[in-house]
Amino acid sequence: MNKVKLFFVIIFLVALSTSILYVNRFDIFSTWSPTFSGTFSVNEEAIMGQNINSYFEKHYVKNEKRAYMCDHLFLGRDSKYVYLDLVCGLFKKSLNGEVVTEYGLQVPTRVEYNENGEVLGFDQPKDGTHHFASYSWIFPKEIQRIHRLQKNGKPWNNIHLKALERHQNK
């Protein structure tokens, strides 16, 4: 009978410690950052950029049930991921020519792609208290530095203008 009790105590302790690690993973591993997969490059391929914009427009239309136009600021890529600052929303020109944002989002994004430049999936930082830790988990330190320099305190960073122009030229 003692072996059965010991077995269940061990199972309980393993489950408890695993749960504690999972719940606190962002705090425990907050300083960890990934490294690049293969060679890092700052060259964006045009077809890859088109695929990314199209993928996210379809993704947000499907999930949010309203129109989205997307574009991005390319930050870099390696052999597995593209790192970018993504802007999606509905943008219109007012009568005086200014761009008005009906709704939208701007989020740093890591996109996984294949050898044909097709999007396989993506990761974005979590909202709320775990934003910084999840951002650090997704983006290598070099990309974090480039993103800070590119953003430089400018919301939208004129990415929404590229999205609007692309849709007006269709």
Mean pLDDT on 137-147:
88
pLDDT of residue 100: 84
More confident residue, 55 or 34: 55
Sheet holding 119-123, edge to edge: 69-77, 81-93, 99-113, 119-123
Question: Which is more confidently placed, 149 or 23?
Answer: 149
Top-confidence residue, 162 or 125: 125
Residue 15 vs residue 138, higher pLDDT:
138
84 has a pLDDT exceeding 90: yes
Confidence tier at 58 by pLDDT (50, 70, 90): very high
Please tell me the predicted confidence (pLDDT) of residue 65.
85
pLDDT, residue 129, reads 78
Q: Rounded to whole angstroms, how far apart are CA atoms 81 and 138?
A: 10
Which of 86, 92, 97 lies closest to 67, judged by CA? 92
Q: What is the pTM of this model?
A: 0.74
Give the pLDDT confidence of 97-107 residue by residue, as tens digits: 888 888 888 89
**125 near 109, Cβ under 8 Å?**
no
Extended beta strands in 79-155, E state: 81-93, 99-113, 119-123
The per-residue b/e assignment along 80-93, b for 16 or more CB within 10 angstroms, e otherwise, is: ebbbbbbbbbbbee
CA-to-CA separations, 170 to 19, 68, 69, 164, 165, in angstroms, rounded? 50, 14, 12, 10, 9
Question: Which tens digits make up the pLDDT trace of 146-164?
Answer: 888 876 666 666 788 888 8
